[in-house]
Amino acid sequence: MVNNRIDVVTLGCSKNLVDSELLMRQLVANGYTVEHDPETPRGDIAVINTCGFIGDAKEESINMILSFAEAKKRNKLKKLFVMGCLSERYREELLEEIPEVDRFYGKFDWKGLITDLGKSYYKEWEFDRSLSTPSHYAYVKISEGCDRTCSYCSIPLITGKYKSRPVEEIEDEIRRLVIKGVKEFQFIAQDLTYYGLDLYRQMKLPELIERVSDIEGVEWIRLHYAYPTHFPTDLLRVIRERENVCNYLDIALQHISDHMLKTMRRNITRQQTIDLIQRFREEVPGIHLRTTMMVGHPGETEEDYLELLEFIEKTRFERLGAFPYSHEEDTHNYRYYSDDVPAEVKQQRMNRLMELQEGIALSVNEAKVGETLKVIVDREDPEFYVGRTEFDSPEVDGEVLIDKSRVLGIGRFYDVKINAAMPFDLMGTVSV
């Protein structure tokens, strides 16, 4: 156990990661040594930032808390704090079940942790962060909450109504990060496309991205978690015209069957979805679309599922993930539907879908063989340098394995000729 060291563990999405980074900066300002996601926790204090989105994530969070609680019982930890989505939603139950935790904080009251440690919260560093990512990229959270009413989703129950950050505040954050050496920015929100409606009474995402792209030192901007309904189509012009806005869009579609889209309360139809994808590809040639599909939602028939498979095979998304439905308390589904698709059927459907996508991903990658692509180097492994193209987001997408025929700098861009393709990764050589 190392005195005056705090181990911070982050579970769940990149939005949680930003919260952890904000907390870590305050802890460092107060004189603590901070380690993020340590392989072996050794601090005398630990903070676990939890996820509470679906069953598997909740289970992972609880297991992590129990593991640290056991360490505290064995006197290997002095204090244990828990924050984030799980404790926002289940604080009373957790207080009763895991008394070893010194205090629980929710999604938005974590600043109280600083006070409870007897330290000061520095307002002047409110948006400053201790980055846990490699120093050349960072996540930028442009809003909190969600105003959508999807049948299955617990996020609005946890995070509340949509709340946009002011454009100027985001610009200031980007400038500070550029000074720190950040070149690549992953814009994140529960729903990017709604940005600005609450604050400015109009969709401001296109304007925000244009303004940020004008900031000197911003080399790549990548957009995550768009929503298909009422999509701000002027954003496509911005992606097309601005060289530092990646030809990439992460937009969760969830399903394609009209029956399922209505049951899910997605406020969009099959044909509207198809038309939107066609518009993306027509207005932004070469755009790579990432989407997420859900299988096993209440009422999903075999016909619905086969329609989804057919749609994926025909549309050929460059990037696609899937997950089985999780029946979450207090959601619309929990009140009005039963979880009527057996777990084994959900798993079979997901496996078959991802097997289909693996073949699509391989053909998408094979089409890149012979091309020369701009790649940013993330790290050096024993056999390769590992980087990404503009079409690949950290953690969720594939990588480019670059041979070591020459010495490369981490966080630098290179033109890489693609020599070989695998389902999710590429192999290449830096062009001379």
Strand spans (E) along 115-230: 137-141, 143-144, 163-164, 184-188, 220-226
Which pLDDT does position 1 carry in this prediction? 65
Give 34's strand partners.
6
Strand spans (E) along 124-198: 137-141, 143-144, 163-164, 184-188
Are 239 and 264 within 8 A, CB to CB?
Answer: no
pTM above threshold 0.75: yes
Looking at the chain, the number of H-run helices and the number of E-run strands are 14, 18
- Give the Å distances, CA to CA, from 219 to 184, 185, 246, 274, 336: 6, 8, 9, 31, 47
Are 133 and 186 within 8 A, CB to CB?
Answer: no
Q: How far apart are CA 318 and CA 365, in angstroms?
A: 9
Amino acid at 411: G
Spatial CA neighbour of 203 closest among 236, 172, 169: 236
Amino acid at 13: C
Which pLDDT does position 401 carry in this prediction? 98
Question: Which H or E element spans position 274?
Answer: helix 270-283
pLDDT, averaged in runs of 10, over the chain (432 residues): 87 92 95 91 92 82 91 91 91 89 91 93 90 96 94 91 96 96 97 96 97 98 95 96 98 97 97 98 97 97 98 98 93 95 97 97 97 97 97 96 96 97 96 79
What are φ and ψ of residue 241, in 5° steps?
-85, -30
Are 377 and 387 within 8 A, CB to CB?
Answer: yes
